Amino acid sequence: MGQVSGKVAFITGGAAGIGAACAKALAAEGAAVAISDLNDAAGEATVAAINAAGGRAIYLHQDVTDDAAWPGVVEAVVAKFGKLDIAVANAGIAVFGPALSMSLADFRRQNAVNIDGVFLTAKYCIPAMRKAGGGSLIMMSSVAGLRGSAMLAGYSASKGAVRLLAKSMAMECAGAGDNIRVNSVHPGIIVTDIWQKVTTPAGGGLNAPMDPQQLGLAVPVGKPAEPVEIANGVLFLASDASRYITGTELIIDGGMTAGSVRRA
């Protein structure tokens, strides 16, 4: 028996990076997995890898900001696998640069994915989980959602909003007695393509992309994490091992939020 055997999981932004690692970890532990993304080629490749390894996975094209398309996506997951037990609201983007250089359009574009997309995940997945008799909803925040981050003010604001959206949705579910848990996950610096894709607001005067290996040197444990470290935390929150845990935040950051380390 795997840790999530018999469960059905849905992961947004599951084509690559942390989302793909979550999909692989959940599938390896027995869940049927549906992933959605904008990047169809990477999404199909991730699903092919899971199925080749003996898992059960499907890919669905989705823009998480598209409210009208959400019901069809959730219906497709339930039509394929019969129910929905686990949802990971993972899709996210980062816009890097001084806040005062950021256009309102960039600020809103980032919020559309990082907050609206997470809200829509909850809005459309929770009813399906209620039909299944309960479930676990995991929202991907960041250490940037716990403390201020120069050059990532809009990103930080969006991830801070995710943290309290998770707690508030956890209270609504607990109050409804629907057996659905909602928690947020806060990665530190993880080696994924997001660092190659960070966009710089016009006039920011900063260069993108950034190197996570370089950034990882400032992490107390001295290195960045691989996506599997985050997937292991998501797996725990998705599984019944965490059945009494709701409204909390799981920080996986190599010590970044705990303090700083002096090195010679």
Site residues (vs ligand NAD, CB under 6 A): 12-13, 15-19, 37-39, 62-65, 90-93, 113, 117, 140, 142, 187, 189-190, 192-194, 197
CB of 68 to ligand NAD, least distance (A): 14
Q: What single letter denotes the amino acid at residue 224? A: P
CB of 127 to ligand NAD, least distance (A): 20
DSSP state of 225: B
- Find all residues with CB under 8 Å of 46, minimum gap 6, and list them: 14, 15, 16, 20, 23, 24, 35, 57, 59
Residue number, 2 or 255, with CB nearest to ligand NAD: 255
Residue number, 136 or 142, with CB nearest to ligand NAD: 142
Cβ proximity of 190 and 230 under 8 Å: yes
CB of 159 to ligand NAD, least distance (A): 7
76 burial class (0-12, 13-18, 19+ CB within 10 angstroms)?
middle
- Find all residues with CB under 8 Å of 27, minimum gap 6, and list them: 33, 50, 53, 55, 56, 57
* Peptide bond just before 209 cis, omega within 30 deg: yes
Residue number, 37 or 85, with CB nearest to ligand NAD: 37
Question: How is residue 84 written in tokens?
Answer: 């929905």
Please choose, from the candidates 88, 77, 72, the residue with its C-alpha nearest in 3D space to the C-alpha of residue 166: 88
56-61 and 32-37 strand pairing: parallel
CB of 141 to ligand NAD, least distance (A): 7
Active site residues: 155
Question: How is residue 110 written in tokens?
Answer: 């980032």
3 burial class (0-12, 13-18, 19+ CB within 10 angstroms)?
middle
CB of 142 to ligand NAD, least distance (A): 4
CB of 216 to ligand NAD, least distance (A): 9
Residue number, 17 or 55, with CB nearest to ligand NAD: 17
Residue number, 178 or 193, with CB nearest to ligand NAD: 193
C-alpha span between 222 and 252 (Å, rounded): 14
Cβ proximity of 19 and 62 under 8 Å: no
Residue number, 109 or 130, with CB nearest to ligand NAD: 109
